[in-house]
Chains A and B, each alone.
Chain A
Amino acid sequence: MNDMAVQASHLSKSFGPKRVIDDLSFEVSRGDVIGVLGKNGAGKTTLLELMLGFTPPSGGAVSVFGHASGQLPGGVKSRVGFVPQQDELLDQLSVADQLKVIASFYGAWDANLIERLCAEWRLDPKARIKSMSVGERQKLSILLAFGHRPDLLVLDEPVASLDPMARRQFLEQLVDASADGQRAIIFSSHIVSDIERLANRIWILKDGRLDWHGDLDSLKESVVRLHIRGAAQVLAGLSVPGALSQRHEGAFATVVVRDWTPARQHSIEESAAVEVEVESLGLEEIFLELHR
């Protein structure tokens, strides 16, 4: 069995003259929970759709469990779950009927899990889909992607319409799904705090390229804000490699740097005769700083 859930090499996608995904290479292993962050138009949805073979690449290749995404055999498709940004529910059906339709596609369907989640998430099986709120539709879309207990779960903005309670329940369910380390989960969201809880790896997409990818922990340790104290003329001429933003005022300077390592503190302090204090940043601030 191929343990690599997704593999991409030099993956590109253009729409007309616009290059939306630009030469991405990456791997996703079982056990990974990947949070995809990016501004609107950064290419998140296109990237997820390329991985699942919904749209062909313009260059490079991407595969799921060792099979090219464009031609996934049925056996591989049944190991994948997807929650699209725009739901694909059938308006005329009830919740129960929609679940039945989807369940019939799969050999293995965990009816007990779905029944339990329907109750916990307060989804009425008898409700007509056309009369449901956007949030309820989103919950149902998520259930549809969960029921066959996929080995690869891809979610495109799954929580945008959920209230905080429902979002928390959804997050707990994702944690539960990831706890055995056998699944790979990839989800994009603008809700940075959700990604911060759940993801162990982060992809930051910027103009179709991976501006940063790696462990969330390393990201937090490598992008920091430095508070520097020293002589004003020293600070005015201070140049810190990897600086994302820099401000100074008299005897104080603040610099946000990437590629930080604790060892750099002493080298800055000694080379410039200044005092450096390191402040760690939350993911949202890091995201903003990387987009300055």
Chain B
Amino acid sequence: MFVLKPQSGVPIYRQIRDQVRRLVASGQLAPGAELPSVRDLAVRHAVNPMTVSKAYSLLEAEGLLERNRGRPMTVASQARNSSHLSKRLQQVQPLVEQTVLAAKQLELSETDLLKSVRQNWENGDE
């Protein structure tokens, strides 16, 4: 479910947190969906369990996940409703900023960039 890159400069707990946020915002993780246990996720990716549980705890504090006694954590029932368009947009904001910066450094025009975005968008639908 997750793509974790321990060698990246982004701490692992943030990679997990960001991916859960995106999966929930997009509805790929629906309310009530179960997440892998801390131990399973840690062993599967060979990463520190405390890192995984730190990510889960942060997501719980955000109201995105719910802790259930003796059962895996689940996506909170309110999660999808609470993520309005603006919130979901916020999550791609850093990627957009990076892309725009790169485009400016390459002296691309706004039209060039938007055209490329549109092409990628359409390719992604196939």
Contact = CB atoms under 8 A, between A and B. Distances in A.
Contact of A281 (B9, B14, B46, B49): B9
Given A181-B49, A181-B50, A199-B48, A175 B43 contact: yes
Given A33-B48, A33-B50, A178-B48, A284 B42 contact: no
A171 B7 contact: no
A85 interface: no
B49 A283 contact: no
Contacts of B49: 175, 178-179, 181
Contact of A280 (B10, B39, B43, B45): B10
A179 B8 contact: no
A220 B43 CA distance: 22
A193 B9 contact: no
A197 interface: yes
A161 interface: no
Contact of A283 (B7, B13, B54): B7
Nearest to A216: B11
A269 interface: no
Interface in A146-199: 168, 171-172, 175-176, 178-179, 181, 193, 196-199
Interface residues of B, number: 22
B6 interface: yes
A204 B18 CA distance: 28
A2 to B, nearest CB: 21
A33 B52 CA distance: 14
A196 B7 contact: yes
B46 A197 contact: yes
B47 interface: yes
Contact of B42 (A179, A199, A220): A179
Sorted nearest first, the 6 A-B pairs with minimum C-beta distance are A280-B9, A217-B11, A171-B46, A179-B39, A179-B49, A197-B6
Given A175-B39, A175-B42, 16 more contacts: A172-B46, A175-B46, A175-B47, A179-B49, A196-B6, A197-B6, A197-B45, A197-B46, A197-B48, A198-B48, A217-B11, A217-B12, A217-B14, A220-B9, A282-B9, A284-B7
